[in-house]
Amino acid sequence: MKFLDEAKVWVKAGDGGDGVIAFRREKFIEFGGPDGGNGGKGGNVIAEAVEGLNTLIDYRYAQHFKARKGGNGAGSDRTGAGSDDVVLKVPVGTQILAEDRETLIADLDAPGKRVVIAKGGDGGHGNAHFKTSTNRAPRRADKGWPGEERWIWLRLKLIADAGLVGLPNAGKSTFLAAVSAARPKIADYPFTTLHPQLGVVRLNATEEFVLADIPGLIEGAHEGAGLGDRFLGHIERCAVLLHLIDGTQADPAGAYRTIREELEGYGHGLTDKPEIVALNKVDAMTPQAKASRVKALERACGGKVLVISGATGEGVPDVLRTLFPVIRAAREARAELSPPSAHP
């Protein structure tokens, strides 16, 4: 299935049904009077976050969604039928933006969360509604109110606990394949990862987290170089970033600074997130090269540097044990902030 994380769609809620003009004409009832019913309500257009989806590809080919008009009223004071809602099922983590692509309408960041993005019109009043003591035979009925219509943008930001960042060929896909059941493309040339990948990392029977791998960044990515920074939105929700550095290159400290500059250029708080730095591909380094590059990298990042090999698994458990406490603390903080669920 092709990955698509952004789509523009047009939505139109249903118009309200029309009220009608009708009068009672029954035997033995001398003054029948008005009995025209009201129109029914038009259908809403609703967006709902559902599990099991991780792409917006369905909205590449279907871009127009229209709810049905409410039923017209009828005699005998019968109200028209209300129309069914149209529900757009989107992946968890989808943001709904106005046509300007900046105004946030809703953030569907939990399964089952839904929002009305176009409200159906109310039905018009029939002539029975306008009957008064001085106007006993009104000949007025209203048309239904029009439903809302608008263009919206759907933007997917994947829900993951930890995010992988680094230059192309830093070994991110190899690491993801080593710690999860994900099978990303792995090759010895840059930009083998063309779209984000998710993998579930299981530490034991009760502890697990979701790890996201995004395409590699290069210098100038926030200005559009390479694949640009369009995929960085998928790690905005992560609790911690795992920064992988290719240990076989001559200047790992320079590689670290390049990625940090791109994260800062992108903004959205990515540079403020907790960061674990790991020097990858230790299996391809001599002991002397490893010692000097670790020291240079520690000076650049101002903290401890883990040494790993995604290919052989060396040091990988230590990285996972370092990541999970940060993830667990973030989960507990979210649980404290979220309101308690209401029980009937």
Distance CA 203, CA 192 (A): 27
* Domains of the chain and CATH, by start: 1-156 (2.70.210.12), 162-337 (3.40.50.300)
Report CA-CA distances (Å) from 171 to 167, 189, 201, 249, 321: 9, 11, 17, 12, 19
Q: Is 282 annotated as a binding residue?
A: yes
Q: Is 250 annotated as a binding residue?
A: no
- Give the chain's mean pLDDT: 83
Other beta carbons within 10 Å of 238: 26
Q: Is 34 annotated as a binding residue?
A: no
Q: Is 166 annotated as a binding residue?
A: yes
Q: Is 283 annotated as a binding residue?
A: yes
Digit-coded pLDDT (tens) for 217-241:
766 655 555 455 667 777 788 888 8
Q: What is residue 189's predicted lDDT score, i.e. its pLDDT?
A: 47
Q: What is the pTM of this model?
A: 0.73
Element housing 202 (H / E): strand 197-202
Q: What is residue 83's predicted lDDT score, i.e. its pLDDT?
A: 93
Contact 11, 150 (CB under 8 A): yes
Contact 123, 73 (CB under 8 A): yes
Show the DSSP H helices in 181-251 as ranges. none
Digit-coded pLDDT (tens) for 113-144:
999 999 999 999 999 999 988 888 899 999 99
Digit-coded pLDDT (tens) for 275-324:
888 888 888 888 888 888 888 888 888 888 888 888 888 888 888 888 88
Other beta carbons within 10 Å of 333: 11
Instruction: Tell me: pLDDT of 185 over 60.
Output: no
Q: Is 213 annotated as a binding residue?
A: yes
Q: Is 55 annotated as a binding residue?
A: no
Q: Is 73 annotated as a binding residue?
A: no
Q: What is residue 21's predicted lDDT score, i.e. its pLDDT?
A: 93
